Homo-oligomer: A and B are copies of this chain.
Amino acid sequence: MLTPRTGGTRRSAKREAVLDAAQAVFLEMGYAAASMDSVAARAGVSKATVYAHFDSKDQLFAAVIRRRCDKSEAFVLADRTLDARAALTLIGRRLMDLLLSPEALAMYRVVVSESLRQPELAQAFYDSGPGAGKAQIAAIIAELIRRGELAAVDPRRASDQFVGMLRTDYFMRTLLGLTQPEGSRVDDVIDDAVETMLRAWGTASSPPR
């Protein structure tokens, strides 16, 4: 019979294959342009199997997005001895690597375009992506302030501004497919953002330049 709907934890290998294929197809084609036939074909699975695991295209899409969101990584700095410049530079590096990855860019494109049609997905994406990142970076900045490495600012505000200075024109051009990520340019963006942060909020123990 069909309809496995295996009791919660079970999840077959086919199911994962369908999710993998669906992720590839949705991120590549966009939600509306993606077809269930192409998902099945890409998964090397019959369409009946796809519908055995997922009730509808919407639900499959939601499952794909939620699975990605659950994999959100942590920025937590292992090394708490870093000074402000080193800490911010490291955060910047990690964030830029993440933001500029082809998969994250594709995810951003499709979630943004479907956000009004699927508000719960937009919320889930925000919470596990930008929202979580902001909170983590704010925590690190708060620690830097506590250690006297940065002047007293609202850490969440500083986090917003720092991330904003990373996600600039260069990010937009990459998002639009107008340029390929290039290491040296990325480093410049990071260094510039760190310098401005330190000029604005640095202390004697974390001088700019």
Chain A residues packing against B (C-beta within 8 Å): 30-33, 108-116, 119, 122-123, 125-126, 130, 134, 157, 160-161, 163-170, 172-173, 175-178, 192-193, 196-197, 199-201
Contacts and interface: CB of A to CB of B under 8 A. Distances in A.
Contacts of A110: 113
Given A164-B166, A200-B196, A109 B113 contact: yes
| 4 interchain residue pairs of minimum CB distance | A113-B113, A32-B32, A199-B200, A164-B164
Contacts of A116: 109, 177
A112 B115 contact: no
A161 B32 contact: no
Nearest to A201: B199
Contact of A126 (B125, B134, B178): B178
A113 B196 contact: no
A171 to B, nearest CB: 9
Contacts of A199: 199-201
Q: Is the interface of A mostly helix, strand, loop or mixed?
A: helix
Contact of A176 (B112, B166, B193): B112
Nearest to A130: B172
Given A33-B32, A199-B201, A200-B199, A169 B115 contact: no
A160 B168 CA distance: 6
A126 B176 contact: yes
Nearest to A170: B160
Given A32-B32, A109-B113, A200-B196, A122 B167 contact: no
Nearest to A169: B160
B30 A177 contact: no
